[in-house]
Each structure stands twice: as C-alpha cells, then as structure tokens.
Amino acid sequence: QSALTQPASVSGSPGQSITISCTGTSSDVGGYNFVSWYQQHPGKAPKLMIYEVSNRPSGVSNRFSGSKSGNTASLTISGLQAEDEADYYCSSYTSSSTLVFGGGTKLTVL
Amino acid sequence: QVQLQESGPGLVKPSETLSLTCTVSGGSVSSATYYWSWIRQPPGKGLECIGYVYYSGTTNYNPSLKSRVTISLDTSKNQFSLNLSSVTAADTAVYYCASLNTAAFDPWGQGTLVTVSS
C-alpha cells in the first residue's frame, strides 16, 4: 500500500486560514468516508482532530474542519494561532481493511 | 476514559524479535467497541500503521510487515502486544499503541522508542 500524498509544508500568518490536502486513490480516500486527521507537536503523540472526513471529537476547536472530494481529502484550519504550529497527518481506511497514513505536513505559523 | 501505556525493551539486537506490550486502563480489550492497534514512527519520519487486533482475536497487518508481525490480546491482564521478528536498523522507531474506532486512532499511548543496534 502506498502512503497518501500530502504537501511537505504549508505556512500562514496568525488569523489566516490554511488548507492541507491529502490525495489517495479510489481504494482508500475515494472509496470510504473513513478519513481522519492528526496533529502532532514535537516529541508528543499524535492527537485526533477529525474523523470520518468531517467530524470533530469533543474538545477539538471548531477552527478545524475537514472535507473530501473524490480521491482528495482536505483539512482546513481557520483563524490560525501560534499553537497550531505542528505536523499534520491524514489517514484513510483501505480496501484491504488496513489503514494508511499520509507522509505528513509541517505547518508553520509565521 | 480509555488510557494506554506502552512498555518493553528500548534496545533490541539485529535479527532478534521486538516485543512490546500496551496496557489499557479505563476500558476493556474484550470490548467490541474498539480495535487495538500499533503504529510506529521512525526518527524524523512519518507514521506507519503496523496492524490491529479485535476483541475476537481477528487481526489485520500492514502488507509490508505481515510476514514478521504478530499482534495478540491478553484479556486476563487487559493488555495487547506486538511482536516483530528479524528486526533491522530500519525498524528503529517510536512505537505507539492506540485504540481504533470508526477507522480513527484515539486515544494514543505516549509512545516508546525502540532502537535496533548491536
């Protein structure tokens, strides 16, 4: 199974919005509404931010939103804050009943 | 609230078997609600799902690791474990355990670094 494709880095200024893409195939992202997004700060375990494409777990800010179109899922962070600076990973269920991650995107808040 | 904690050796010799245990609190590995999974992250690199086990004992493994991996449950101790055989330096990573529900990993353990070196 191949990793999902994410941009290596994105950046934005405080208060702005950014979007991170996650591209797969019809055997993973495009075939199921089981895309999730994780935030990872340095030296910490990943934290679930979005599940089932667009659902936020309790306690996650509504500045985080998810969507999907075809084989590409997206994570949008609005009203960027310094604390949002982290690595972000997408994940998808696959037709092999496995789960595959994206390569990760480093978000820099300028 | 479910919490997970990894434990095991931090150093493993090449060609030997890496063995880790994840202790679950606040929930039961015998519950049909969750799958129990292992994920790893080589230093400076991305995440890789190793596989998962269901309360019934059913497993699913990453095809690239399938020949070397075993994930199993110990219901008496409320734990699940990972065995990865014939390790090489490429298996050096932080290993996380996590519960898996609706194809989302949450929560995660804090992670444990395993180094493969002689």
Residues 35-54, chain B: which have Cβ within 8 Å of A?
37, 46-49, 51-52
Q: Tokens 């590995």 label which residue?
A: B29
Q: For residue A2, what pLDDT band results from cuts at 50, 70 and 90?
A: confident
Q: Are B59 and B53 spatial neighbours (Cβ–Cβ below 8 Å)?
A: yes
Reference A46, options B41, B79, B36; nearest CA is B41
pLDDT value for A53: 98
For the four alpha carbons of A95, A99, A100 and A101, in that order, the dihedral sign comes to: positive
Q: Could you tell me if A1 lies within 8 Å of chain B, comparing CB atoms?
A: yes
Could you report the per-residue pLDDT of A7-57, keeping only the tens digit for each?
Answer: 999 999 999 999 999 999 999 999 999 999 999 999 999 999 999 999 999
Q: Does A9 touch chain B (CB under 8 A)?
A: no
Answer yes or no: is pLDDT of A61 > 80.
yes
Ranges under pLDDT 50 in chain B? none
Question: Per-residue pLDDT for A88 more than 90?
Answer: yes
- Mean residue pLDDT of chain A comes to 97
Q: Residue A96 — very low, low, confident or very high, per pLDDT cuts 50/70/90?
A: very high
Q: Test B96 with A45 for CB contact under 8 angstroms.
A: yes
Q: Is the pLDDT of residue A1 over 80?
A: no
What confidence score (pLDDT) does residue B19 get? 98
Residue B68's φ and ψ, nearest 5 degrees, are -115, -5
Going by pLDDT thresholds of 50, 70 and 90, the confidence category of residue A78 is very high
